[in-house]
Amino acid sequence: MPATPPSLFPPIQPIRHGMLAVDELHTIYWEEVGNPNGIPVLFLHGGPGAGLSPQHRRFFDPNAYRVILFDQRGAGKSTPLGEWRNNTTQLLIDDIERLRAMFGIQQWLVFGGSWGSTLALAYGQAHPERCLGFVLRGIFLCTKAEVDWFLNGVQWFYPELYEEFVAPIPVAERGDLLTAYTSRLLCDDPEVYWPAARAWSRFEGRRVFLLPQPEEASSDALDLGVGRLESHYMLHGAFLEEDQLLRDIGRISHLPAVIVQGRYDVICPPLSAWRLHQAWAGAKLRMVPDGGHGALETGIARALVGATEQFKRHGRFD
């Protein structure tokens, strides 16, 4: 992980946190940060399955914002970890609405990066009347082309990582890596799913940042959540119709939005951000010239904090 960007606000603890049972299987972790009387904002983490980090609280002025964060189904502190059953985009949207009602919030700013941008768009299009605007990073629309890039196209930039990723898969199955990995990740045998989860998470994690970062010990929670849920959602096209998020952009195009995109993002390449910007004429596009995919890269973090500061002052993005 890179050094903490200087643009972030100081570390902060939640003013309250808890667990919410959303069905007979899933219980989600939530936390509230900042000013209880501030501008409500919903934070949506990436993955799916990546979960929250204390750093995620720091994109917002705690004196001005009331920040609601939660671990999505199967991620982070939510239970059961890595559970893909009863786990769809539509159910996550229902969870968000349940949280909004629990906190008594009428409308909120929606902030999400990577998969969080996918979920933010899907939520906004389902409930536009509940949204004040959007701060989106590293756009992922979960189209077939993006999924193919994530799994196969990236070998043009990281051939050594790709070779390592495909090595455990028999040659006869390598024509469909998504199915090959999903069948292993979602099986019940830990001797099968743990190696697959760690390989998947490593394949993604080592290309998040533009510049190489020191290797850190991986987390079992991160590996299992990311491996299982990313493969599950990709296999099902995020439970959306192909290009649905662009097709239905008119439902939210009247709302203010900013798109922050790393120029050299090899997980969610800039074409998706460009396509979204072209479809959403009122959205502001901030292309970070020295950015990859990571929200904590200096230029990307600066742009995200700049966006929340603009919205705090003006309720829009200039």
Active site residues: 114, 265, 293
Contacts of 290 (CB under 8 A, 6+ apart): 210, 263, 264, 297, 298, 299
Classified as helix, coil or strand, 230 is helix
CA pair distance 40, 57, nearest whole angstrom: 13
CB 71 within 8 A of CB 78: yes
Which residues are 41's β-sheet partners? Answer: 67, 109
CA pair distance 107, 127, nearest whole angstrom: 10
Structure tokens at 298: 């200096």
User: Quick count: other Cβ atoms within 10 Å of Cβ 91?
Assistant: 16
Q: SS3 sequence, 163-200?
A: HHHHCCCCHHHHHHHHHHHHHHHCCCCHHHHHHHHHHH
CA pair distance 267, 208, nearest whole angstrom: 7
Q: Which amino acid is at 256?
A: P
Place of tokens 């100081």: 10
Strands of the chain, DSSP E: 16-21, 27-34, 39-44, 65-70, 108-113, 131-137, 257-262, 284-288
The DSSP string of 73-106 is TTSTTSBSTT--TT--HHHHHHHHHHHHHHHT-S
